[in-house]
Structure formats: structure tokens, C-alpha cells
Structure 1
Amino acid sequence: MFSSLAGLSCVLSAALMTSSPLAPVDWSRDGRWIAYTLVDSPDAPALPPGWLLAPSGSEAGPTSSSVIAGSQKTFRVWATRVKGPDSVLIEESKQPLSSPTWGADGRTLVYGRFVSSQPDSPSSQRGRYEVVVQSGLDQKRVVVVQPDLELEAAARSSIPFLGPTLSADGRRLAVPRPGPDAGVWVVHLDEDRATRAIDEARMPAWSPDGHRLAYLKSKPGPDGEPVVSVHLLNPAGTADRVLSIEASLTASFLTWGLDGQSLLMIANPRRGPFRNTQVDLVRVGLDTGQTSPVSTLEAVAPTNAPRRFRGPTTLAGAEKSPAVRVGLALDGEQEQAVCLVDTEGQDQVVKWGNLHTQNTFKRFHPLDAGLQIGSPAVAPDGRSLVFRVEDGGAGLVALLDLNSEEVTLVAPDAGARIRWLDRLAACAVTLLQTWLPSPDADGAGVRATVLPLLAELGGVHPRQFRLKRLAKFASGLVHEPGDPVPASGTGRDGLAEFRLLFAYLNQDYTAAERHLGAIEATTTDPHARLRWLCLRAQILLSEGEVDRARGMIAYIDRETQPQALSIEDVPSGFQIESVANPQNAWAKHLAQKATQGALVRGRNGQVDPQAGLDGQTAEMGGWDVDRMPNLPFAPNPGVEQGLVPLQPDELGVPPQIRIPGLIEPPAPGLQPPARMPRFAPPPGGIEPGRLPPQPPAAGLRALQLEIEQ
């Protein structure tokens, strides 16, 4: 089985799901190298200018968007060593380059390129399509496949998603033809020319012996659904044999079986035995053209059916077939498979399992559910997976160890590095904005920046771990080996905002303050400087420098007081009112979070056992008996007094505060308040495994009186 065929991806749908295509990645035969194409595109950034400030921010400084948008679209073909940081630039061009394919020797790369004769034309361009056979950095052989070809802008943009398929003997190529009219060129490298063009052909696959070429054609059927036909071509002759014409097959995946006498394809989703939507891998025999099931790739239950047994008793009216999208990759032995499963209404997952035993080893997402991945390709040994992450272009490349789930983000140049950070930061910002809405009712412009307070990030929440995981992935990109550590006040290199975001999410506030200083030094907008000052106050609060933070907050509050007035015509005459300033709303919020009671509650539940709720030592007489009792469901005025809110299941005792005498003897110098009961263990203790003796009913009143005293 060729490694170039093992990494083919497929897209299928039960209810026609649409998704952005991603370019394929090819493994070398020895599994040491991967080859791929990257596209630097001005349409790639996911974050707008000034993304770190709140949506109402006025600064549009140089962020990831402006860094990439300043350059034209650039195409690069790379080869990267899997076990190490080595990457080799094969070719760079302003004209489209296709995805590369490794030769049988593992040292030759083959790819296509479009050479325009009118490069300044933005729409339709005429030029030639070439195939490059590169066996060294300075050893190239060019074969002109089509000397006169006219392509629209959309057709030129699709070239990176195409890649030639090389036969086992390395003498023949099947080159997908770009453009709206799909097709395949059959190229003989010995003759340096295209010997045949097959119209409407797609998904070409060479047989293991290299003498036969299989491909697919798709045409609309009577009911509008596509009908796929499987074709077989003998390059030595002119016969084009039709193996099968079935509406149950998809035109998205085709590869040869190891026996050389069958083809593997994916069938359309169908109803399974338990009313599931079932996606199967099938085998098409060359002799009969009949299909036979090989393995079930995915089985999705009806979305509206109960999660328990879904058998014949399930109501037909309560069922709904979910839309499914599956990307498939096989190892060299065609025994293990990795599926990228997209189900309507669910997060995308990676399913790794055995095709023969139907055993699923793992089911997980290698990065984050907010990142769309595709184009999986399994290494020949079945231990590693390479996949792409959608970035608005051909896709970013990442490596995954299937056993340890360790992910390596591949960034061979500065452009890929910035696009990785752009996608990770966009995912983190989306999590923050959906998880932590505006604290006030004034709309989305209340927050000074997208970064929350430490108290909002505390606690145990799944999204908290997702943010930490994204920051972990970004840590190797924001500080590459050999990069100088930026000092406060230095110029910005396009990464300062990313460094600030991920340092803050990692709760590395010393580094966050340093990166914030680098941003502030280049900010000239006074409104933006006030917003950055709000973030500095947040950092100081997180570091425990409360006095400095309170001084900054007071200054921000004074500077953001309402300065505009509105005149309204009311029945009693004209009425003048001040117009609220959204920045002042966040300053008020920071001032409330800087109070002593709020700081105590925001320290991840860490309260000094020697301190009371107001920060004073809890000595005898230090308790304010007139203070509102700290009860479950206490009204809001209790919060203003600095009380720790209680949960109903906490029996009226805050978990962070130990009441002396409740479990342990009181500490020296610390006495409980007069009204607080103290409970002593029963005399003689309790035997393990036995309940304490229950008091008689008549003695309950006496016990209650004793407690009240």
C-alpha cells in the first residue's frame, strides 16, 4: 500500500454538510518525512485588528491581521522531518503550487504548478500547467502537461488541494486537472508528456503493480442524488472498463486493497440495525463489481431518540438522521484506521481503531473542539497521524502520536507561526466571550479587554482546562528557541498580543506585565491606553499588589467619568442627563472586585484561617454581632458587607473557614463567637463501621436547649 494513498481523506454527508477543504499531506515511504503545501493568504486571519481590546476599542494597531494582510498570497512546498525540527523549503512562488507526492525512493518529490503568462490579471488568467520532479534542492525536471490553460481565480485557488499520484515504478503520474471541468492527465515521465486526458475523472489511484489506474466519475441521478461509477484503465491499452455504477457509493475515497484485486470505498450513510445512521467501508471486487462490507466506520444514533436502547420500540416520528462528515486514513497494512468524525450538533472527534476487530482504541480531539481539522494521513507504521487545521487557506499542519496523544504544531516559517497563534488565540477568545459574558447589562463594550479577572477564571470548569490546553500549545510558538526575550518598552514584532494573552491564561503575571509594557510603549491612542491600564490593574490584583491596583482603578474611574450630556424633551420641560461611559462601567466593576471581601472570595477559595471575613483577626470580640447572618440565599446587601456566599448543601458553614471547636480544638488565642455552638464528639468515641447511638426522642428538646445555651 502506497503511503500517498493511505492518507487520502473523504467527505460524505447524510444531509449534505458543507465544510472547507484542506490540502492533503503525504508521508515518505520510510515514515521519516512529510511533504505539504502552505499558503500565506491575506484572507487567513481569524482575528480582526485590535482583537485583544474589547469590541468597542478604538485601537487598530499591528496585530496578526495586519501582519499577514500586508503581503500577497504566497505558495510554499515544504518537507519536514518528523523526528526533529528540520524543514526544507522545496519551492516558493506567487503562482499556485499543488500538494506534493513522495516518490517510491523516498527522496523524490513530485508536484504541479501553474505558470501564468499574465500574472497581473486578477480574474481569468492564461498560462501553462507543469509537473515538477525534484530529486534534490538543485535537481529539477519540468514536464509541461498543458501548454495553454485558462483558469479563473477560484480554479487557481483550488490547485493546492490537488496532488499528483505516482505509480509504484515511478514512471507514470495521474495529475488532477484544475478548473470547473474535473479530469485527470495521465503523464509518462519517460516521455515527458501527457499521453491521455480523462474527462470528469477524480480520485485517481494506481494499483500496487503500477499497471492499472482506478478512478471515479459522478453524475446526477434521477432523484438528483449523485450516482458514482467506478472505472478501471489499463495505460498500455485504450480500454476504459466500468466496474460498478451504484448510488450507494461516495466519490470521496478510493484506494486499492493489498490483494490488488479489489478497491476500497466508502458507502453513503444508511440506516443501521438499531436505527443508527451507519457509515461503512466497502470493498468493490474487480471481477464482479459487487460491493461487500468491510467495516463500520461510524454509527450515530438518532438525535431525538433516547440514549438508551434504540430498538424497534423507538417512535419513528421522534427520529432524525444527523448529518455526518467523516475523514478517513489507513495505515500501510490497511488494518488500523483513523476517522475524523463530524456529527451534526456534536464536537468533532478523532476515532482510532482496528478495521478487522471493530475495536475502537481512542476517541478524542487532539487540539480543541473549536478548531476544525481535516485531511488525516497515517504514517506507514500506524503510530503517528498528520492532519491539518483550517486557517482560511490550505490548512496548517500538526503531528499526533496516537499512543501518547502528544501533538506537535508544525511551523516551518514565521508566516505559519503567526497563523498558528492566530487560530489558537481566536479559539481562546471565543471561549472567553461565550463563557464569560459582560458583567453588566450595558452590552458587549463593558470589558476593557477580552481578558477576564482572575476570580472569573477560578474554579473547576471544562473551559478552564481548554484555555490552559490552548496556552500550552501556544507556549512553543510565542517563544521559539533563540528568540530574544522582549523587554518592556521595546518595539512590537507582531507577537506581543499573543504573548500577553497566553501568559495571562497561564497565570504567569510577571511575563504578562512585561508584554503589556511592550504594547503600551507603542500605543498613542489615549482611550486605548486607559484600557491597557485597566488590564494592568487586573494583573496587579492577581499578583496581590492591591494598593497599586486600587490607585490605578481610582485614576481610571476619574478619567472615565461621564463627560457628555443629553437633552430630552419631557412633559415637564427639558431634562439634562449625563451619558454613561462604557469604560467607566468596567472601572466601577474593577473597584468592586478590589474590595477586601471580593478579594477573599476570588483567591480560589484560599482564606486565611486566622482572618475574619473583613480581614481582621477573629479574636474574642472581633466578631460583629450586628452583621447580617451569613445564611444560604442571603440577599445582595450581605455581599456588600463582604460575606462569603454559602451554598445550601454546606450546612451553614463556609468550607474555607474552620469554626474552632467544630472538628479540632481551638487554636491558642482564638475563640468562637458567643452565639456559635460547639459540638463535642461523644464520650468514648465511636467504633469503626458503627453509627453513633441515637438520643431518645424525649431528650431532643433538652439537647436543643443545651445547644442554644
Structure 2
Amino acid sequence: MKRKTVGGVLIPMLLIGIGLFFWCSRPGVFQLNAEGATFLPLKTASFEHPSADPQMVKGYLVAINTEDRTLDIIGHEPAEAKFRVKIQPATRLIYLHRTGGWLVKFEDLRPDFYVEASIDSTGTAREIVLRAPQKQPVFLGEVICQPSFPLAGLKVSPDGKRIALLGEGYDHGLSYLNEEGKTVIIGQTLSRSLSWSPDGQHLAFVKQEEVRGKDEKLCVFSFANGLVRVIKTTRSTPQQVNGFSYVAWSPDGRTIAYGDWTGLPYSEGYTQQIALISPDGGTEKPVATDFVDTSMLNWSPDGCYLLINEVLSPEMTDALIKQIEVATREVTDLTSLAKPGDLFPSYSPDGALIAFLRKDGVADTIWLMDRRGQCRRQVAREAGRIYGLCWVDASHIVYCNQDSRELIGVNLLTGQKRWLTSGLEPNVVGRTLYYLDRPANDGEQHIYKLKLEDF
């Protein structure tokens, strides 16, 4: 990395003689690039003087090198566990040392990229993004479909051969995109909570009535004969939002897990249960009961456990992560916060880890923990709302920043973040990312697919 030298060794000597004791810790430069961070002793750093009246900034200082797009964090080794710097659009801090501390001014650079990074006490980059912010969205990959009706969401089959299409509202129902790229209608009634069978030959879904208090049906569509079979019926009350909650097909394909109400009148209090049923119908088998409300239902890869969210408030700001052992019906609370707020848990492909979303009122963060609810660590943080968390493999995840409409990838081994594309509704099958380019109320939609081979 090329550096401008001002004052030879004079400025480093002044920094050592005057400024270092201001923080009483080892000074230096964290030099960041896409591979990580390197700590350099202060004597190797050089500085550029400000050209206008600077302002005092306490703590850590940042400078961007526009030639090789590296990031320098100037200061001392952080005493706290972690700090975060974000520059958007690109600016640089021009800095020098005077008696009493650092003096800093901001100067605009070419607005062609921004830097986001965080560093722990060892000088290791936990998060780093070096990318060009776009005035207009940039959709990468291949367009595979332009739907003829507005979509609320999509769900790709495990083999990637078909894509289930959820229409927006009650007018467009449920369809699928076949291998030839043609759209086939399954039903005109509003549907939700889609779950594919492991072999991709069947699709479970909830058929929802527009009027509350009517029957809701848990259905299975067979691609072999094109028929819809109702395997369970329940009823929503005018006070209850839905009769069924989430639906999830087991990894061995033999059972479907779902949540529904116990049937108590709303005025007397009601609870929700998690039950299993055969894809052919028959008698349900409850595996856990007495939940306030549930959202999200996820099987472990070995089929031995179920993850759920027990929702304690309609806004979903208070939610508990619970794990159900199917064989014993034992329920374990994995939530650690005094005020619960952990959402959308899902197992890694090898079943060793659980990823989940945490909302603290300031930012959305993604966390990992093991199957016992221990060894928690944060792996991503966004100022916008995070949605659509997907596992690529045991060491990579993809998620959507819903506010900026961007899809972000995270390497869980290095902690590095990577911008993938603009888009919404991420689905990952193998190493292919499927997504929508825009919401239904924002013009013509397209479905894209993007290879993640180099991710």
C-alpha cells in the first residue's frame, strides 16, 4: 500500500512522545483489506495534515486509500471488545496530532464506494464490506421468469426444478414455474406457509379463506397427477389471525409438522400446539402444547428436533426460541435475553449450529449458537430490517436487508460480509441464489438466479 510521508520521522516521534500516553495503550494502525486486518506499529504509519480547521474526534480514526481500496484505522489497540466504523458515501479523515489529542477533519472523496468494518481486540476484521453503492439497484445473475401477476413470495424446490409462486392478495392464489419456464396454476384461493417434500414431488401449503371464521385447510399438491389433497382442516375465529401457523415437511418425507390452535374460545384463553401428520392425512400426533402463539417451524437435518418461535406479542418483538425433541416431546427454551426478541431460528445444513435474528430496537443482528443454546456469537448487523435468512452451507449464510433491498452474504469462518446483489425474497438451493427484484407494488417483477460458486 502506497503512503504519503509528511515530516519524515518527526511526526511519529511527536506521536510517540506526546500522544501515546493520552490513551495509555499501544498505538498503531489497523490496515484492513478483503483478507482481514493487520496491526502495524505507530512508527510505520505516516500522516496527512488537514487543510482546514479540524474538529476533535475521540477514539479511533479512519482513512481510506483510494488507490487499492484499503482501510486504515488509526489510534490505539481497542480496549473494548469491538468497535465499528461506517463511512457512506466515501469520505476520508485527514488527521494530525496536537497537544491534547487527535485533530480530525472530514473530506469528501469520489462517491464510488464505501467501507464498513469492525475490529476486535486482537486486530481481526470481523466484518468488512468494500463495494460500490449504486444509485440504481443492480440485479446480478440470470432472469428466469417475468411473472404475469404480482408475487408476494416464492419457494424453490429442493432439486431446483420448480418454483412455487405465491400471488399477492386473494386474486392470484398459488402457482408454480415448471422446468420449461411455464406458469401452472395450483389454486386461485390465497395460500401461505409453503413447504416442499424432500424429493420435490409434493408441495404442502395452507389454503386460507378471505373471511375469518371459515375453515382453513392444510393441503398437499402432487406434481405427478396435478391434484390437491386436503389432509387437515381447522377453523380460524374472527379474533385469531390464522387457523394454522407454519408448515414444515420432515427431512425423511414421512410427516408434516404444523401448528394450530387447541380450539378454546378466544374469550376463555387459547393456546397453540405443534403436531405431526402423515402427508396422506390421518390422525394428528401432538408433540408440544400450551404455546401462546407460534411462528416459524424448522426441522433439524436428522429429523430429531423442531425449532419454533413462541410469539408473546402481536408485533413479534417478544419471542422465544424453543427446541422440541420429537421422540420425547421435551421442550427446551434456548432464549437467553431477559426481554426475549430472538426470531426465525434455523439449523445449519449439518445441524451443528442454529442461526437466528435478534431485534434490539436499534439494529437487526444475526447470531449463531449451538444446538444447546450455548456459544452464542454475533455474525452480522444491519441498520435496516433483516429478512429471509438462508444457509448456503455450514459456513456461509445469505440474508436480505429489507430496507435497502440488498442481499448480503456472510462467511461465518472469517466474519466477512459481501454484497451479492440487489433483491428480495432470497432462496438458496445448492449454491444457487434465487430472488425477486422488487416487491409487488413497485412495478414489473422478475425472478433471478445467481450462482454462488466464488462465495
TM range (shorter): 0.3 to 0.5
**Which has the larger Rg?**
1
Q: Which has the higher strand share?
A: 2
Q: Which structure features the higher share of helix residues?
A: 1
